[in-house]
């Protein structure tokens, strides 16, 4: 069995594969702090290069949003993430797993994402302490430029 880029020969998908990040993609990061999963960040930067910050003027293919309970209004943060996002881009909402400091109740994501014009399509294990929710623009919703 041959492996595709970023996959091990045994079929195990890398973190970058799970996030759908490809070489040449522009990925923006929001909510960075000392508690983020460095292995995930390293896997993504190895795949696509440096992550851009939220002050970027570039159109981005994906946004990583590190969000913890108490980080402010999730709806507003998601709306901010849409600003530079390409129409076919993805927002990855990264939240601490249950039982970890800063855990976010799934009901908060379920309420905030649709209000921001996003729908959740899947979740991934984003590291020891983090879960990732894949959010995409709902049909008929255009990213605000």
Q: CATH number for the domain including 87?
A: 3.40.50.150
Instruction: Tell me, yes or no, whether 1 lies in a domain.
Output: no
Instruction: Tell me, yes or no, whether 8 lies in a domain.
Output: no
Instruction: Tell me, yes or no, whether 3 lies in a domain.
Output: no
Instruction: Tell me, yes or no, whether 122 lies in a domain.
Output: yes
Domain around 87: 15-97+106-137
- Residue spans of beta strands (DSSP E) within 31-72: 60-66
Report the half-sphere exposure of 89 (CA within 13 A, side-chain side): 25
Q: Could you give the CA distance from residue 117 to residue 23 in angstroms, rounded to a whole number? A: 27
Report the half-sphere exposure of 64 (CA within 13 A, side-chain side): 28
Instruction: Tell me, yes or no, whether 143 lies in a domain.
Output: no
Each of the 145 residues of the chain gets a pLDDT tens digit; together they read 334 444 443 345 688 899 999 999 999 999 999 999 999 999 999 999 999 999 999 999 999 999 999 999 999 999 999 999 999 999 999 999 999 999 999 999 999 999 999 999 999 999 899 999 999 998 755 554 4
Please say whether the dihedral angle defined by the alpha carbons of residues 23, 91, 126 and 28, taken in this order, is positive or negative: positive
Q: State how many domains the chain has.
A: 1
Instruction: Tell me, yes or no, whether 9 lies in a domain.
Output: no
């Amino acid at each position: 069995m041959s492996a595709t880029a970023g996959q091990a020969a045994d079929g195990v998908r890398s973190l970058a594969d799970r996030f759908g990040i490809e070489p040449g993609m522009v990925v923006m990061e929001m909510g960075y702090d000392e508690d983020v999963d460095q292995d995930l960040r390293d896997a993504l930067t190895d795949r696509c290069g440096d992550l851009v910050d939220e002050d970027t003027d570039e159109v981005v293919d994906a946004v990583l949003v590190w969000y913890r309970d108490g980080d402010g209004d999730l709806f507003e943060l998601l709306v901010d993430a849409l600003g530079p996002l390409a129409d076919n881009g993805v927002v990855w909402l990264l939240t601490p797993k249950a039982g970890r400091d800063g855990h976010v109740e799934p009901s908060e994501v379920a309420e905030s994402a649709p209000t921001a014009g996003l729908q959740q399509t899947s979740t991934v294990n984003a590291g020891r302490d983090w879960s990732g929710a894949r959010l995409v623009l709902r049909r008929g919703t255009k990213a605000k430029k």
